[in-house]
Amino acid sequence: MSSSVLGTANPPTQDALRLLARPEPVVSGVYAKKSRREMATIFADGVKEVLFGPDAAAPYPLKFAATGFLRLRAGGVTAHNSG
């Protein structure tokens, strides 16, 4: 799983379209938990720093993805379940 982070510099529609266009089989937005100062997303081991918006060089690998914005490609889900 990977995550590309919605930024604030672009209108939200452009950010969503950028995520939809990613080639990875699973793409998720990153969210903060309601009423807490922590993320609802759990990043993969080794991710030490996260940059948001256009400053992010690439999607970040995840262990757990919040599903507020989640795009699944059918082939990727099938491949993941069969492996």
pLDDT in tens, the chain (83 residues): 445 554 445 556 777 788 888 888 888 888 788 888 888 889 999 999 988 877 888 888 999 888 878 888 887 666 655 55
Question: How many domains does the chain fold into?
Answer: 1
Flag whether 58 is in a domain: yes
Does the predicted TM-score (pTM) go above 0.85? no
Flag whether 29 is in a domain: yes
> Domain span at residue 69?
2-73
Flag whether 83 is in a domain: no
Flag whether 53 is in a domain: yes
What six digits make up the tokens of 50? 């996260």
Predicted pLDDT of residue 76: 66
Predicted pLDDT of residue 10: 52
Flag whether 18 is in a domain: yes
Question: Looking at residue 66, what DSSP letter applies?
Answer: -
Please tell me whether residue 54 adopts helix, strand or coil conformation: helix
Flag whether 16 is in a domain: yes
Predicted pLDDT of residue 16: 77
* HSE-up (13 A, CA, CB side) for residue 71: 15
Question: Are residues 7 and 54 in contact, defined by beta-carbon separation less than 8 angstroms?
Answer: yes
Question: Are residues 31 and 64 in contact, defined by beta-carbon separation less than 8 angstroms?
Answer: no
Predicted pLDDT of residue 8: 47
Flag whether 44 is in a domain: yes
